[in-house]
Amino acid sequence: MDGVILYSVISLGLVAAGASMILFFIAKKFRVEEDPRIDKVADILPGANCGGCGYPGCRGFAETLVKAADNGSIEGFNCPPAGSEAMAQIGKVLGLEVEASEPTTAVVRCGGTNELAPRKTEYDGPSKCSVSHALFSGEKGCPYGCMGLGDCVVSCSFGAIYIDEKTMLPVVIDEKCVSCGACVKVCPRKIIEIRPVGRKSRRVWINCMSNDKGAAAMKVCKAACIGCGKCVKECPEKIQAIVLDNFLAYIDPKKCIACGKCIPVCPTKAIKATFEPPAPKPKPKPVENPEPESEKKDQDEVNK
């Protein structure tokens, strides 16, 4: 009996050793040599694996960059958390020049605070914006506005966004935001937009996403854009950064010079900025018509 067990153990050992040798030679035969530049690029990337680049993690993005470099260019590829300096370092590793990209940040385009857009119903369900959006228009009655349940907060890996307890609207911390776009993707109402930080952090945007007509929009939110077009007319003719489409104005960040002239003319204060807008210029007083020269001479003769 002991001999049978011994022979069985020896047989299994020989089979295992043979299989190991076969696997070793197969692995050696079909081994794929990995480009050492991939590790170098991956070490420069932040390792956040946020998906802001559009690829599966930093390792996947590093592999994509190396392949793109072999084709002659990595133009159009960007890692938002890494920033321009890191991308420039990656360019040196790959032997390419990388143009510095303009810094960006997430902007929440909704002004429906609890004060300006009071609740009309009470939601009693899962605390998720995606679920609430699928069920109804929201507690405030605006089918375009923020629901304040914090899906964007949960999605942010950098702690750059939180819900203000007073307004119940998301607030972005620019210093922490890396523009990965996770909050943009998760928001069912698409009210979060990645926009340039702007020169000296000056930026202007329409703080509303409603496509309802003016009267309907104002019924649910006093800060809604009513599509009056006053901002479009106020924007300098040479700039023309504001367009009006489907009862909603939009400021093109690539054209806007952040002059702030459009802000004071908005009747609902739906235009927001990161700076104090200039005071509107006082309208010139109408000049009274002077008396005709003949009447003035007659009056002088009477006085004499």
State the distance between the two ends of the chain, measured CA to CA, in whole angstroms. 152
pLDDT for residue 302: 45
> Which amino acid, residue 300?
D
Quick one: pLDDT band at residue 154, thresholds 50, 70, 90? very high
**CA distance linking residue 258 with residue 199, whole number of Å:** 9
If asked whether residues 84 and 113 sit together in one domain, one would say no
Q: Is the pLDDT of residue 183 over 60?
A: yes
Quick one: pLDDT band at residue 272, thresholds 50, 70, 90? very high
**CA distance linking residue 88 with residue 80, whole number of Å:** 13
For 112, the domain range is: 102-196
5 inside domain: no
Lowest mean pLDDT among 19-23, 88-92, 288-292: 288-292
* CATH label of the domain that carries residue 149: 3.30.70.20
218 inside domain: yes
Looking at residue 199, what DSSP letter applies? G
Single out the residue in 165, 181, 196 at which a domain terminates: 196
Other Cβ atoms closer than 10 A to 141: 17
- The H or E element containing residue 250 is strand 248-251
* CATH label of the domain that carries residue 40: 1.10.15
Rounded to two decimals, what is the model's pTM? Answer: 0.74
Structure tokens at 97: 């020049």
If asked whether residues 88 and 113 sit together in one domain, one would say no
How many structural domains are present in the chain? 3
What is the per-residue pLDDT across 51-98, written as a single tens digit (0 to 9) for each? 778 788 898 999 999 999 988 888 878 888 888 888 889 989 998 888
